[in-house]
Structures are given as C-alpha cells and as structure tokens.
Chain A
Amino acid sequence: MVLMSEIFGIAAVAFGLFFSVVGILGLVRMPDVYTRLHASGKVSTLGLFGLLVGTAFFLPDTALKLIALAIFAILTLPVSTHAIAKAAYGHGITPARASRDDLAEGRDMSPSA
C-alpha cells in the first residue's frame, strides 16, 4: 500500500517536473511576451498541479491543503497571465510575427480605449 502511493507520488512529481521544464524551455525559445506567456503560464499550471498532487501522495496528512492549493492555483494563474498580457499591450508591445491583430484595428476606431 505504501509502495503504491510512492509509485503514484513519483509518477505525479515526474509529470509535474516534465511540464515545468517544458514551460521554462518555452520561456527561452518563444519570440515575445505573449507567446512566452502561453508557454510559461499554461504549461506551468499542469506542472504545478503535478507537483502538488505528487506531494499529496507523499504527505497524506496535508493532502486536503495541497488539493485546495491546486484548485486556487488553477483559478488564479490565468488571471495573472491576463494581467501581464494586458499590461504589455498597454505598454505598446506589439505581438511578434502576428499575422492578424484585431485589437490594433479596434483601438484605431475607438481612441478612448
């Protein structure tokens, strides 16, 4: 029984580590703020989730707290992603290699925005 929980724990931690590493790799490889947010923001959500679930298997006493943390992380991480993207756009950073930018056209029509 203990062995089973350890196997699941290691699998979940490995899963989380894989996605965390991919997230960081994306942060290095992507060309601009927005695409980097895609890589770090989203891939790390699953990375963090895997690490928290893995920890829950190793420390069953804290499992409820860790699950609560995972839920709060999933609820709040997209908010910070959006805040960074909006701040970057407001700062005048245009998306790199963009084939289409509806927001720029919208801004031209309504200068108040």
Chain B
Amino acid sequence: MLTSFLMAIPLAVTWMLVIGDVSLDSLLVGWVIGVALAVLLRSESAVIHWRKFPGQVLALAIYTLTLFRDIWLSSVDVAKRVLNPALPMNPGILRVSTQDKTKSDVIAAFSAHGITITPGELVVDFDDSDGMYVHCLDIGASAQSAPGAQTRRLGYLRRILGQSAPETESGA
C-alpha cells in the first residue's frame, strides 16, 4: 500500500504537466487518481526494490531507446519494400519462444509489443506453453534474428521488472 502511495507521486507530477496546470489542486487530483490506479493495477510481476531501482530505470531507458531504433529500422525496411516496384517479400508465420519459463503475462505482453514493433514482424497468436506465432514479411531473415532479439529483449524486461534471471529460471 505504501508503495502505491509513493508510486502515485510521479504519476501525479506527469498528470499535472500533461494537464498544463501547475497548481496544488491538479497535483492532488493527479495523486488521488494515481493511488486508485496503482492499487487497481498492482502487479505481482513488477517488483520495486529500492536498491535495484536506479538499475530498473536505466534498463527502461535503454529498452526505450532500443525500441525507438527498432521502430525506425522497421519503418524504413517496410517502406523500402512498399516502394519497390517488385514488392519483394517472403511472408509466413513463425513460432518464436518467449523463452520465459515462468509464463509471466506481463513479460509475454511486452515481448509481443516489442516484436510487433520490430522490422516486418507482428504477433498473431499465443499458445498454451511459451510460444508466440509471429507473422513475418521476410521469414528467412526473421527466423535467424527473432530468437536472439527475444533473448536480448527478455534480459531488459527482467531487469525493468526487477526480477533476476537465474532466480526465475530455477523457480520455474
């Protein structure tokens, strides 16, 4: 509960800035809404440890930058294919493992988000184990790059969520 109250402070500041009204009133309104949201959406998957917190923020920053680079590469790659008169592509649906033995919904959702934003790939479906079905524009290239990209993404996500990788592997 204390964590929820504290988590609501950055939410309140963001709310105040977005509303564009820097006053105590809007800060309080933002804080009340923030506490409500933090309590409602509290997730067991994301753990805030005060000692790990700077590392989590750093991992989030690196992940966001990687995501922006991926959006850029993705868009340029797809744009090139669209503008090429021959419309070069080799589509198909590929099974990619989330590589997450804990089957965490949060990790699955964020990996799917990351994949859907990377070059020429979009997640179509999940299966009951840890598989994602990814539709690729160029299945040859994606089949080679997707598992490695997922390993890297999973590493960042675990650091952002404050989980240590070996712990969750053995706990599975």
- Interface residues, chain A, with chain B CB atoms under 8 Å away: 19, 22, 25-26, 29-30, 34-35, 37-39, 41-43, 45-46, 49, 61-62, 64-65, 68, 74-75, 78-79, 81-82, 85-86, 89, 95-104, 106, 110, 113
Contact = CB atoms under 8 A, between A and B. Distances in A.
A55 B132 CA distance: 37
Contacts of A81: 116, 122
A12 to B, nearest CB: 14
Contacts of A26: 78-79, 81-82
Nearest to B92: A100
Interface stretch (B43-51, B67-75, B148-156, B164-172): B67-75
A42 B82 CA distance: 12
B91 A65 contact: no
A64 B116 contact: no
Contact of B79 (A22, A65, A82, A95): A22
Contacts of A95: 91-93, 135
B8 interface: no
Given A46-B72, A82-B112, 14 more contacts: A22-B83, A25-B82, A26-B79, A29-B87, A38-B78, A42-B78, A42-B117, A45-B71, A62-B20, A64-B18, A65-B18, A82-B116, A85-B123, A113-B127
B82 to A, nearest CB: 4
Interface of B: 14, 17-18, 20, 67, 71-72, 74-75, 78-79, 81-83, 87, 89-95, 112-113, 116-117, 120, 122-125, 127-128, 131, 133, 135, 137, 139
Contacts of A30: 82, 87
13 contacts: A34-B135, A35-B89, A38-B120, A41-B116, A43-B78, A68-B18, A78-B112, A78-B113, A82-B122, A82-B124, A95-B93, A99-B90, A103-B124
Contact of B82 (A22, A79, A82): A22
Count chain A CB atoms within 10 A of each CB in B74, B78, B81 and give the residue with the most. B78
Contact of A19 (B75, B92, B120): B75
